[in-house]
Amino acid sequence: FGQPVDLSVQSIPTVWNELPESQLGDGLFLPDNVGEMFTTDLCYTMFEPGAILLNSSLLEGFCMNFEHSYMGDFVIQLTCPNGQSVVVHEQGGAGTYLGEPVDDDSQANVQGVCYNYCWSPIATNGTWADNATGTLPSGTYESLNPMSGFVGCELNGTWTFTVTDLWGSDNGYICNWTLDFDPSLFPSLTIFTP
């Protein structure tokens, strides 16, 4: 008390841009409600008016931060603003873990550790099911259906991520999700580092 204390601080600059972010708070719980569709949206408004996706490689990645105790439970799809959809995963991989889930139905709403998973049109290492192990490693994978299904999609508007549980038991969390478009598609994207 009453004595000087030397303090040192270190700032870590963070890049900000105007791209939309998923607003899932601490994560969206995916309870075991068989047949129920869980959806979350990202709304894009910064592309040129009327712009469409002319080449699937310009959607560089569809990524999610996710944990679940049974990969074989669900179907995951992405839908673009004009309604075109691509199923990236459909019930393969059986009991493979995604991330580090809390695999205890008596603690169904306890969140585990989410891992980053992406799908890319240029990935060559197989689908989730092709890589099924005890726990699927974080990484970028091939989509079950070709991402060329997005060619012709409007870029501006609401993109919807949907998870449908089709098997009893097990649950998980979506911590967040993103779309990575080729920077050449953005006419003028505000980016700065405070």
What does R_g of the chain's alpha carbons equal in angstroms?
A: 19
DSSP string for the chain: --S------------EE-------TT-EEE---TT-EEEEEEEE--SPTT-B---GGGEEEEEEEEEES-GGGEEEEEE-TTS-EEEEEESTTTT-EESB----GGGTT---B-EEEEE-TT--S--TGGG-SSEEPSEEE--SS-GGGGTT-BSSEEEEEEEEE-SSS--EEEEEEEEEE-GGG-SS--EE--
Q: At residue 28, does pLDDT exceed 70?
A: yes
Task: Tell me the residue type at 118.
Answer: C
CA distances from residue 48 to 53, 110, 166 in whole angstroms, order as listed: 11, 42, 38
Query: What is the rounded distance in angstroms from the CA atom of residue 20 to the CA atom of residue 43?
Result: 7
Mean pLDDT of 116-121: 96
| pLDDT given at position 156 | 95
Higher-confidence residue of 53 and 74: namely 53
| Percent of the residues in the chain that have a pLDDT greater than 70, as a whole number | 97
User: pLDDT, tens digit, for every residue of 138-175?
Assistant: 999 999 999 999 999 999 999 999 999 877 777 788 89
- The model's pLDDT over 32-62, given as tens digits with 9 standing for 90+, comes to 777 788 889 999 988 999 999 999 999 999 9
Q: How confident is the model at residue 127 (pLDDT cuts 50, 70, 90)?
A: very high
Given pLDDT bands bounded at 50, 70 and 90, which one contains residue 30?
confident
pTM of the predicted model as reported, rounded to 2 decimal places: 0.82
Which two structure tokens, joined as six digits, stand for 86? Answer: 């691509």
Q: Per-residue confidence at 108, pLDDT binned at 50, 70, 90?
A: low
Q: What is the mean pLDDT of residues 86-101?
A: 91
